[in-house]
Amino acid sequence: MYNSQIKYEMKSDQSPSFVREDQFDSSFSYSINDVIEIDSNDESDFDYESLITEDDTPVDNLFSERQQRLLAESLYTDWDTSRIFMACANVGIYPVRSRTPIVPDMFLSMDVKLADDIWAKKNRCYMVQVFGKPPELVVELVSNTVGNERTTKFQQYEAMGVKYYVIFDPDNRIFKTRLHAYELKQERYVAFHWQSIQKNGVWFSDLGLGLKIQPDIYQQYEDDFLVWYDHTGKQFLSGEQKAKAACEYAEAEKARAEAAEFRAEAAEFRADAEKKRADAAFQEIELLKAQLENMRS
């Protein structure tokens, strides 16, 4: 938990300048319209009850809805990590002392856990003031051209201090390529190499996680999904996918056992046939010997 003061900067709608790391200019800064600085431990005069933590009007297309849940669920079902974490889909993040949340499609926050009473107003969403830090990673899915993923949201996550910002544009609505990722360096987002991550995915070394686009089937729907992977390249699976994989593995093991049993029976049959042929040959030899003895006598 961070105990230091936290700044949240409300920035203008000016589009950010996307730069490669080798083009980074630390002297560049955005114009700041509003800066709020508070002590994150001082909650005594903050009215959480006045915040709108849910608006009950979610609207997502079928692919985005599946993609959001796949990203969150597969971390809980298949990530072998000793660190506690929160992975949430379509849950609001309240920057420090802000009354305006931002709702990413998915976020990951490390070394934090749900409160015992998640129905309390201040525990219903991700309050940076309550958890003491912003999430480490945010994913936005592009569904149309007006979602502000590369402008306003880019600026908000950067100002909030979210270390990694990932944009997945499955239908190439705002980018010519589908996967883009940024890392916060000296309070500015610097892009991962966009050409490399289209093919190989993006690796977050301090999290021990990667993201890549891969053909997959989730909830009876097949498409190119954004999926997690570990240092070995193994994909993280949802509960449904793990159950299916386990069933397929069991069926494959059954087929291998049946094949082994068939081979054993076939080997036994061949051995029996060889024995019968050997017995027949011996009997034929014995008959010939008897006939020869009769002829001599």
Q: For position 36, what pLDDT does the model report?
A: 32
Q: Answer with the residue of higher pLDDT: 34 or 255.
A: 255
Spatial CA neighbour of 70 closest among 106, 32, 34: 106
Q: Which residues pair with 238 in a beta bridge?
A: none
Pairwise CA distance, residues 183 & 167, whole Å: 12
Q: Which residues pair with 179 in a beta bridge?
A: 168
Kindly state the average pLDDT of the residues 224-245: 92
Q: Does residue 287 register a pLDDT over 90?
A: no
Spatial CA neighbour of 73 closest among 192, 236, 198: 236
Pairwise CA distance, residues 218 & 234, whole Å: 17
- The residue to which tokens 């909830």 are assigned: 219
Q: Give residue 271's pLDDT band: very low, low, confident or very high (50, 70, 90).
A: confident
Q: Does residue 127 register a pLDDT over 70?
A: yes
Kindly state the average pLDDT of the residues 56-78: 88
Pairwise CA distance, residues 3 & 77, whole Å: 32
pTM of the model: 0.71
Q: Give residue 59's pLDDT band: very low, low, confident or very high (50, 70, 90).
A: low
Q: For position 11, what pLDDT does the model report?
A: 32
Kindly state the average pLDDT of the residues 263-278: 82
* Backbone Cα Rg of the chain: 31
Weakest mean pLDDT among 80-94, 101-115, 177-191, 282-296: 282-296
Q: Which residues pair with 223 in a beta bridge?
A: 216
Spatial CA neighbour of 240 closest among 67, 64, 73, 107: 73
The sheet carrying 221-229 orders its strands as 202-204, 209-218, 221-229
Kindly state the average pLDDT of the residues 27-41: 34
Q: Could you tell me the residue ranges of all domains in the chain?
A: 6-236, 238-297
- The residue to which tokens 């114009």 are assigned: 31
Distances (CA, A) of 42 to 5, 34, 172, 284: 10, 20, 44, 104
Q: Does residue 40 register a pLDDT over 60?
A: no
Q: Which CATH class is domain 6-236?
A: alpha beta
Q: Say what percent of the chain tops pLDDT 70.
A: 80
pLDDT averaged over every residue in the chain: 81
Q: What is the pLDDT of residues 152-202, one digit of tens each?
A: 999 999 999 999 999 999 999 999 999 999 999 999 999 999 889 998 999
Q: Answer with the residue of higher pLDDT: 88 or 294.
A: 88
Q: For position 55, what pLDDT does the model report?
A: 62
Dig out the tokens for 212 from the structure: 């890549």
Kindly state the average pLDDT of the residues 243-271: 77
The sheet carrying 106-110 orders its strands as 85-89, 106-110, 137-141, 164-168, 179-185, 188-191
Q: For position 39, what pLDDT does the model report?
A: 38
Helices 62-78 and 239-296 pack at an angle, to 10 degrees, of 70
Contact, 214 vs 205, CB < 8 A? no
Distances (CA, A) of 222 to 3, 59, 199, 215: 45, 21, 19, 7
